[in-house]
Chains A and B, each alone.
Chain A
Amino acid sequence: MDAAQATHAHGDHAHHPSGIMRWVMTTNHKDIGTLYLTFSCIMFFIGGTMAMTIRAELFEPGLQFLRPDFFNQLTTLHGLIMIFGAIMPAFVGFANWQVPMMIGAPDMAFARMNNWSFWLLPFAASLLLISFFVPGGAAAGGWTLYPPLSVELGPGMDLTIFAIHLLGASSIMGAINIITTILNMRAPGMTLMKMPLFVWTWLITAYLLIAVMPVLAGAVTMLLTDRHFGTHFFNAAGGGDPVLFQHVFWFFGHPEVYIMILPGFGIVSQIIPTFSRKPLFGYTSMVYATASIAILSFCVWAHHMFTVGMPAAGQLFFMYSTMLIAVPTGVKVFNWVATMWRGSMTFETPMLFAIGFIFLFTLGGFTGLVLAITPVDIQLQDTYYVVAHFHYVLVAGALFSIFGGVYYWLPKWTGKMYDETLGKWHFWLSMIFFNVAFFVQHFLGLAGMPRRIPDYAPQFADFNMISSIGAFGFGLSQLVFVYLVIKCIRSGEKAPAKPWEGAHGLEWTLPSPPPYHSFETPPVVK
């Protein structure tokens, strides 16, 4: 009995596939986390190339490189790929790697479904990319796909709708997995109010995903049937209303943007206390604030629709509810600053990205508050002010938190330290070029430049040129990151179990890299 057990202690690995099949068949949360993060990185560069192309056309007035309809395809796919291919999968990758380790669980609750959740994504992404090559090209209605325009577009739209269904299914399965894991598989002694904040933010995000991804599926299915099966949900001549789509879409769309930021809040809430060598200030408030943001996010959707012609009562309700979200968001920012206050800070790369996040995400939050005020929004809706706003919260917000998290946990995942000097270069280059690219876009929007246009009047020329230069710089700076990650994996210095002096949490009790299966016996949390 003993001898048999000894030889089989980790003997099951002898039966695991290696090479490509290891990655195709894996049910291990660490492997699947790596798959998600790698996929996300590839999609980030594809979406980024589209952005560079867009900014190349916008470098000067006039049409130099692109036909207007192709330009619209690029803006649409840039949005879809960054949202559904880069940001969301990156956060799911973090969830997969970190949640089981942080709660002392051996793996996710549904390990095989986890594999499927990932492998749907490359198929969905392929559909999106192939859509460029069908007659009429890719969908060109903006990532928001409003009818009637999206009803009259070619087969690229159908491929996009199919891709969205697959992406949604992946997210829903992933969310179910995360909730079940967190609620059922925490180590003894880890009550909900003792969980790391990152785990809390993912728990709440998972509920949002389950609530709204089906709504998106409904919206695009109605689009599909309007296109091909004779329905007229969005066609007034048949008794429908194009604005119905906007309501359904944004009921998904607004919680979606919180889905894309709450895990980032969680990551920052792990990094700041570590590098301040101080506990997170106001843990309970932070949990309540995150939950409030999530609940409120269901009540604000029509602030994307202030110009649609809704009655004053509607405009007022959505103005007030949108302004209200500033309160719990502000509470979170104050709590992070209070965590830093009177700490003993050091500024390694994860901390730089976390601080950059707080600074720039808050700036994006302020422009969001400006946009919340309906009369002001009437002037700014569908202009570059909105483009600036969401790039601040999604790039300087979500993406910076992702970078911060990668730098923070890369030593744990790979067992090697990354090159700190290169990391700092990556941070400062990204920080500077990001602001050059996007700060001036606020002025463009205020001055009257609409969005989703390939050519513009001469008064917008100077800021567009500056923005394009910033964008090219930002894009090139990301190559530093790729180089750094590859260099770390191949030849980084060996990392200890706890490379960061101030870090707390179960993941730091494991070796770096952790064994393929960890916490097969749950730890006891006091």
Chain B
Amino acid sequence: MAKKLLLCWIGLLLPMFYAGAAQSAYELNLQQPETPIAQQIYDLHTLILWVCVVIFCGVFGVMFYAIFKHRKSLGHEASQFHENTTVEIIWTIIPFFILVAIAYPATKTVLAMKNTSNPDISIKVTGYQWKWKYDYLQDGISFYSTLSTPEDQIYGRAPRDEHYLLEVDNPLVVPIDKRIRVLITADDVIHSWWVPAFGVKQDAIVGFIRDAWFEVEKPGIYRGQCAELCGKNHGFMPIVVVAKEQKDYETWLAEQKQAQAATTVNINKTFTLDELKAQGEKVFNTTCAVCHQVNGKGIPGTFPALDGSKIVNGPKADHLNIVMNGKPGTAMVAFSKQLSDLELASVITYERNAWGNKTGDVIQPSQIKALRK
């Protein structure tokens, strides 16, 4: 009896959870819920956990009692009973009813999660290898969101900062207290958009659009990760959502619209080699270096080197073609979809003039635009 009780306490201590505790190294439970759905999920999990703990203590209390008392070394003689239909029926029916009791609140939450009607804002989320793109459909702005942790930190050449692997250059920004519907798809392979604090996880399937919704209750920064294996940098494409008060959100939105308008205006300008190289280096390091490496030497056998490459040093048309249209059947995708005219022009210019490559060639954004037809 004492042993049964002891086991029960151990069983209770083990799943100790710290509701609402600050980020600690020994997080034992789901993250602090920040949306009504996440709260429902948290509560459902607590309910099931307690049910399991109670049943676990009951069953293994009995088993360990038998182990301690019904042993040959204590001289205990074996009974020979070996069946009882009544007992079998009872321990089939009772668990069944326990499951029904759990299924009822779970059903309500499933239906609430699936109900994406009447959103206040709709945002399209596209998964790429290995970054996210956010399109604010009603406002006409869009941007890519890429991991911003420097490679030096990953390879131990620099100390890791506080949000190592969970920080991006352009986070998703949303207002609080509004029903946000996210329309999720992917461009290349299956990804999954997941923010634990919101209780939202939706697979991003190529060629299909799925949706989910959330409503954030308080301002803050919320972090998540891709949740479907999508290739080598699956672990390096986080999600950061910044929830702002309504008026701060509107300010941010206005700034974004202005900035996007500015870049579109510039497109027909003629850029210098240095301007393009500088811009191109940035694009290269965020978009191309994951495979071709910052030093342009690639990974032999897997990702070709660009430094000294025949394509990069050869006719511009071939180089433009492979960057814009990709190479089917390989991991080299068609970057004409992901990158703007300016970005494409600058990165190709950079590649043709970086490391050991000295073609002196310049590609203008207007040339890219002409090729897109």
- Which residues of A have CB within 8 Å of B117? none
B62 contacts A341, C-beta separation under 8 Å: yes
Give which listed residue, A68, A235, A327, A342, contacts B70 with CB less than 8 A: A342
- Chain B: minimal CB distance from A441 (Å): 12
- Which residues of A have CB within 8 Å of B272? none
Q: Is A362 an interface residue (CB 8 A)?
A: yes
- Which residues of B have CB within 8 Å of A308? 203, 205, 210
B83 contacts A378, C-beta separation under 8 Å: no
Interface residues of B in 130-165 (CB under 8 A from A): 153-156, 160, 162-165
Among A61, A241, A376, chain B packs the most CB atoms within 10 A around the CB of: A376
A-B CB contact pairs (8 Å), 10 listed: A68-B233, A241-B208, A342-B81, A343-B66, A345-B67, A375-B37, A375-B41, A375-B113, A447-B30, A448-B31
Q: Is A463 an interface residue (CB 8 A)?
A: yes
A279-B80, A316-B110, A443-B28 given; name 20 further pairs at CB < 8 Å.
A61-B160, A68-B236, A243-B205, A280-B82, A281-B82, A282-B88, A307-B227, A312-B114, A315-B114, A327-B96, A334-B59, A344-B78, A345-B66, A346-B73, A347-B67, A366-B55, A382-B194, A382-B201, A383-B227, A443-B27
- Chain B: minimal CB distance from A378 (Å): 5
Contacts A61-B160, A142-B229, A340-B67 given; indicate if A459 touches B62 (C-beta within 8 A).
no
A373 contacts B207, C-beta separation under 8 Å: no
Q: Is B45 an interface residue (CB 8 A)?
A: yes
Interface residues of A in 28-64 (CB under 8 A from B): 61-64
Q: Give chain A's interface residue range (CB within 8 Å of chain B).
A: 35 or more
- Chain B: minimal CB distance from A398 (Å): 20
- Which residues of B have CB within 8 Å of A146? 189-190, 228-229
Give which listed residue, B88, B230, B329, contacts A331 with CB less than 8 A: B88
Contacts A63-B155, A375-B109, A375-B110 given; indicate if A454 touches B31 (C-beta within 8 A).
no
Q: Is A326 an interface residue (CB 8 A)?
A: yes
- Which residues of A have CB within 8 Å of B230? 149
A320 to B190 alpha-carbon distance, docked (Å): 27
Question: What is the number of contacts between chain A and chain B, taking CB atoms within 8 Å?
Answer: 295
A448 to B31 alpha-carbon distance, docked (Å): 7
- Which residues of A have CB within 8 Å of B52? 366, 369-370
Name B's A-contacting residues (CB within 8 A): 14, 23-31, 37, 40-41, 44-45, 48-49, 52, 55-56, 59-60, 62-63, 66-67, 70-73, 76-84, 87-88, 91-92, 95-96, 99, 102-103, 106-107, 109-111, 113-114, 153-156, 160, 162-166, 188-190, 192, 194, 196, 199-203, 205-208, 210-211, 224-236, 299, 301-302, 329-331
B41 contacts A456, C-beta separation under 8 Å: no
Give which listed residue, B165, B208, B233, contacts A236 with CB less than 8 A: B208
- Chain B: minimal CB distance from A141 (Å): 6
Closest to A62 in B: B156
- Which residues of B have CB within 8 Å of A284? 83
Q: Is A497 an interface residue (CB 8 A)?
A: no
B30 contacts A446, C-beta separation under 8 Å: yes
Contacts A242-B205, A376-B41 given; indicate if A456 touches B199 (C-beta within 8 A).
no
Interface residues of A in 194-218 (CB under 8 A from B): none
Q: Is A496 an interface residue (CB 8 A)?
A: no
Query: Per-residue 0/1 for A126-149: is the Cβ within 8 Å of any B Cβ (1 yes, 0 no)?
Result: 000000000111001110001111
A278 contacts B80, C-beta separation under 8 Å: yes
Contacts A61-B164, A309-B210, A327-B99 given; indicate if A282 touches B84 (C-beta within 8 A).
yes
Contacts A68-B235, A146-B229 given; indicate if A62 touches B203 (C-beta within 8 A).
no
A370 contacts B225, C-beta separation under 8 Å: no
A475 to B211 alpha-carbon distance, docked (Å): 43
Closest to B165 in A: A457
Among B49, B56, B78, chain A packs the most CB atoms within 10 A around the CB of: B78
A236 contacts B41, C-beta separation under 8 Å: no
- Chain B: minimal CB distance from A347 (Å): 8
Contacts A236-B207, A327-B95 given; indicate if A337 touches B160 (C-beta within 8 A).
no
- Which residues of A have CB within 8 Å of B72? 277, 344-346
A148 contacts B106, C-beta separation under 8 Å: no
A343 contacts B110, C-beta separation under 8 Å: no
Give which listed residue, B91, B107, B331, contacts A334 with CB less than 8 A: B91
A446 contacts B203, C-beta separation under 8 Å: no
